[in-house]
């Protein structure tokens, strides 16, 4: 896995100079457009699966995200997806490990309801559909060691944007040549509150010795509605003269599945660093 992550990082870094050093775009307003985004991610997660253990497992996931988005003067629409792979652990009498592969996906549809100072500040609101599906392998759970689960939520969401700009002189930063011109910068923060939350996960007690070779791990999963989930993210954008954008993202996602005995509590602290490539 380390070799794959290293290769991914080298490809990303190798492509970055060309993406940031292109000629100036002919677009009249670089703040709006259609984008294809590619990001690396680092995710610190904590989880407690009360169906099998009272212990809290913590660890890091490494991976990447891709996003197709449209940012206009009124609408803000984005669809993204990605994957994170890593290992969590907890240390008590002994050290227990859990290997996790998580698939993230989101769709956000927001409309501008308010603006001030000719778009320097604006507020947008709408719907956010967000979820993730995970495979967890925890050898210490024995015959409950393998679990597939999917958490999906319909949110009401609100986003506040602040835009500013400055004049950039010609020069060079590290290996990146900087051209003179106006640089746009945007900061945003978005809070999503749950309207409908669902959890599709094992219905413990998950007693199966898998000795017949025909057991289906999904047979023990059950779909439930309820619980809580909150999602908050903040982004910083640096617009280049060629129309592409450098973006840094911090994301916090916390959820608690329905039920008392078989409850999953899970949190994510995630950072992303990537490039938004202008498509128009």
**DSSP letters spanning the chain:** -HHHHHHHHHHHHHHHHHHHSSPPP--S-TTSEEEEEEEEEEEEEEEEETTT-SPPEEEEEEEEEEEEEEE-SSEEEEEEEEEEEEEEEEESSSEEEEEEEEEEEEEEEEEEEEEETTTTEEEEEEEEEEEEEEEEE-GGGGGG-EEEEEEEEEEEEEEEEEEEEEEEPSEEETTEEE-SEEEEEEEEEEEEEEEEEEEEEE-S------TTS---GGGGEEEEE--EEEEEEEEEEEE-TTS-EEEEEEEEEEEE-S-SSS-EEEEEEEEEEEEEEE--
Summarised one tens digit per residue, pLDDT across range 158-192 is: 999 999 987 777 777 666 677 777 788 999 999 99
The answer to whether the Cα torsion of 101, 15, 272, 225 is positive or negative is negative
pLDDT in tens, the chain (280 residues): 555 445 445 444 444 444 554 444 444 566 788 999 999 999 999 988 876 777 888 999 999 999 999 988 899 999 999 999 999 888 776 778 888 999 999 999 999 999 998 878 999 999 999 999 998 887 777 666 777 889 999 999 999 999 998 777 777 766 667 777 778 899 999 999 999 999 998 776 455 555 555 556 667 788 889 999 999 999 999 988 888 999 999 999 999 988 777 788 899 999 999 999 999 8
pLDDT of residue 54: 77
Beta bridge partners of 123: 114, 160
Half-sphere exposure of 258 (CA within 13 A, CB side): 15
Contact in structure between 151 and 129 (CB atoms under 8 Å): no
What distance in Å separates the CA atoms of residue 19 and residue 238, rounded to the nearest whole number? 13
């Amino acid at each position: 896995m380390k070799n794959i992550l290293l290769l991914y990082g080298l490809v990303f870094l190798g492509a970055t100079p060309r993406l940031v050093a292109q000629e100036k775009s002919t677009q009249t307003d670089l703040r709006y457009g259609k984008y294809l985004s590619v990001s690396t991610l680092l995710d610190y997660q904590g989880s407690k699966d009360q169906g099998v253990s009272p212990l809290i497992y913590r660890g890091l996931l490494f991976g990447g995200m891709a996003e197709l988005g449209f940012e206009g003067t009124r609408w803000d629409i984005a669809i993204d997806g990605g994957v994170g792979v890593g290992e969590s652990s907890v240390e008590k009498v002994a050290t227990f490990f859990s290997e996790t592969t998580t698939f993230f996906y989101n769709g956000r549809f927001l409309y501008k309801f308010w603006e001030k100072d000719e778009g320097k500040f604006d507020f947008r609101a709408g719907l956010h559909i967000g979820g993730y599906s995970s495979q967890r392998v925890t050898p210490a759970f024995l015959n409950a060691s393998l679990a597939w689960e999917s958490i999906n939520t319909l949110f009401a969401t609100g986003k506040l944007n602040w835009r500013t700009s400055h004049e950039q002189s010609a020069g060079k930063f590290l290996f990146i040549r900087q051209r003179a011109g106006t640089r746009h910068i945007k900061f945003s923060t978005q809070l999503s509150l749950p309207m409908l939350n669902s959890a599709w996960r094992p219905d413990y007690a998950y007693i199966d010795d898998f000795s017949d070779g025909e057991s289906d791990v999904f047979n023990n999963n059950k779909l439930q509605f309820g619980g809580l989930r909150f999602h908050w993210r903040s982004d910083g954008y640096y617009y280049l003269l060629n129309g592409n954008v450098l973006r840094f993202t911090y994301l916090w996602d916390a959820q608690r599945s329905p039920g008392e005995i078989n409850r999953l509590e899970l949190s994510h602290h995630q950072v992303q660093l990537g490039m938004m490539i202008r498509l128009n």
